[in-house]
């Protein structure tokens, strides 16, 4: 048998694979956030009929004589360049303008260090909604991860300017009731506050209210001691859910004694016990799993989920959608549907908030460095440093269009068809030559 036929068969197989790639691109020309693929042809095995030589003092050299055996698939690549913006009018629809992915998955994922980022599924499709339990979910029901607004345990209601200044000098923020937590958690609409009464602490003796019924109730930032890399206590702080009925007394009032051990303020580098949450004056949530009613929900350029409370008209910032970036975006592994995984080939994964909202030196789980000039204290690990993502923005009320271009795909399809046709001619011509050879003796 002649090698030409085997080369042509290899060409037929490779062109068919290329047609499969083109067919998949055309099928997904209207798929949200679809990333077009391309196939690279590569030469196949070569056989050497004569080796090359450099020549001698009396004879000249010659080049190698080699015969190839067709083509093969070199690579099938993803083009992860951003697609065009497709306005939809839905408030929770959004797209990433720049490199990066949304992080989605099950509700029980825990991100203690940067090594845990690989647990999440990555997607460019921002078709988000609110489920009956108040979680922000994508079109397949996976919860969206991000950074929530939480109550500040150091907050002092009615603090004077002098108190605020002194607190800042000690590294504390007592001015803002709500602060941004950098614990990576499922985003969920805050619970609604119960009707204020004397029993639950919402109503004062003089008739004034500490909160309004239906007001959004956030989680609270709380300290959990963790062993640092150098043997000292870390200053890691995580969110404490105020939706747990085990934390309340019979009157529905938050009971500090019922909180889990360590659920206070930050733990100092010297190993002091956590600060208590005494003085905390946040509202008490309704514990029947009803969510705070929001209307006019939208997403801004930093990925903040913002809505208006139906109860009192206040603007509520739920939290910020996390944006994950990888060293090589084209190297992510497609796992089916709109989802990818940062596996081998993608490089390191980092997480942050779009638009450079996070200041430099911000770490996962609200960890802060307590190291002094001598190097004593706790220093968070570099892999837990959050990315600023200054060049990335989020566009709301729209989705990312597919990057598959029909005109390009049709042109590639014609070229592939003609290449396939040419290879079939090699097969038929080779067959005719073999027929002539067989018929030589009659």
pLDDT in tens, 28-59: 999 999 999 999 999 887 777 778 778 777 88
pLDDT of residue 286: 63
Report the chain's mean pLDDT, rounded to a whole number. 85
Q: Helix (H, G, I), strand (E, B), or coil: what is residue 25?
A: helix
pLDDT of residue 288: 59
Structure confidence by residue, pLDDT tens digits, 303-328: 999 999 888 888 999 999 999 999 99
Contact 256, 384 (CB under 8 A): no
Say how many C-beta atoms besides its own lie within 10 A of residue 438's C-beta: 8
Contact 316, 218 (CB under 8 A): no
Q: What share of the chain is helix, strand, coil (3-state, %, to 5)?
A: 20, 30, 50
How far is the CA of 233 from the CAs of 115, 314, 369, in angstroms?
21, 39, 11
Contact 75, 39 (CB under 8 A): yes
For residue 323, the cross-strand partners are: 102, 352
Structure confidence by residue, pLDDT tens digits, 241-291: 877 778 777 777 777 677 776 565 433 333 333 444 444 555 666 665 677
User: With 60 as the cut, is the pLDDT of residue 225 above it?
Assistant: no
Task: Give me the mean pLDDT over the 231-238 stretch.
Answer: 63
């Amino acid at each position: 048998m002649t090698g030409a036929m085997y080369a042509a068969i290899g060409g037929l197989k490779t062109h068919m694979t290329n047609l499969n790639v083109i067919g998949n691109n055309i099928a997904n020309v209207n798929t949200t956030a679809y990333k077009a693929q391309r196939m690279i042809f590569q030469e196949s095995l070569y056989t050497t009929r004569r080796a090359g030589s450099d020549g001698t003092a009396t004879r000249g050299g010659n080049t190698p004589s080699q015969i190839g055996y067709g083509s093969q698939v070199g690579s099938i690549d993803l083009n992860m360049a951003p697609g065009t913006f497709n306005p939809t009018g839905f408030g929770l629809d959004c797209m990433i303008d720049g490199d990066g992915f949304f992080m989605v998955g099950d509700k029980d994922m825990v991100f203690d260090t940067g090594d845990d980022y690989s647990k999440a599924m990555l997607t460019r499709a921002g078709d988000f909604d609110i489920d009956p339990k108040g979680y922000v979910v994508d079109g397949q029901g996976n919860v969206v991860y991000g950074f929530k607004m939480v109550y500040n345990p150091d907050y002092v209601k009615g603090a004077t300017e002098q108190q605020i200044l002194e607190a800042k000098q000690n590294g504390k923020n007592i001015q803002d009731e709500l602060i941004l937590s950098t614990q990576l958690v499922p985003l969920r609409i805050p619970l609604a506050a119960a009707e204020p009464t004397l029993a639950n602490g919402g109503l004062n003796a003089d008739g004034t209210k500490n909160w309004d019924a239906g007001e959004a109730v956030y989680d609270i930032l709380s300290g959990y001691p963790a062993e640092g890399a150098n043997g000292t206590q870390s200053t890691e702080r995580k969110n404490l859910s105020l939706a747990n009925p085990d934390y309340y007394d019979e009157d529905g009032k938050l009971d500090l004694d019922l909180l889990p051990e360590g659920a206070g303020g930050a733990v100092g580098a010297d190993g002091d016990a956590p600060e208590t949450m005494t003085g905390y004056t946040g509202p008490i949530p309704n514990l029947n799993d009803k969510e705070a009613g929001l209307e006019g929900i939208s997403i801004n350029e930093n990925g903040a989920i913002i809505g208006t409370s139906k109860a009192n008209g206040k603007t509520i910032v739920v939290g910020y959608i996390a944006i994950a970036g990888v060293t090589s975006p084209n190297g992510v592994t497609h796992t089916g549907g709109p989802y990818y995984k940062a596996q081998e080939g993608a490089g390191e994964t980092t997480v942050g908030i779009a638009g450079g909202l996070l200041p430099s030196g911000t770490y996962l789980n609200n960890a802060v460095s307590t190291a002094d000039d001598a190097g004593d204290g706790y220093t968070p690990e570099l892999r837990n440093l959050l990315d600023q993502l200054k060049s990335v923005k989020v566009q709301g009320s729209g989705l990312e269009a597919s990057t598959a271009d029909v005109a390009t795909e049709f042109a590639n399809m014609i070229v592939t068809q003609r290449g396939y046709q040419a290879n079939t001619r090699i097969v038929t011509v080779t067959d005719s030559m073999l027929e002539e050879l067989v018929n030589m003796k009659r």
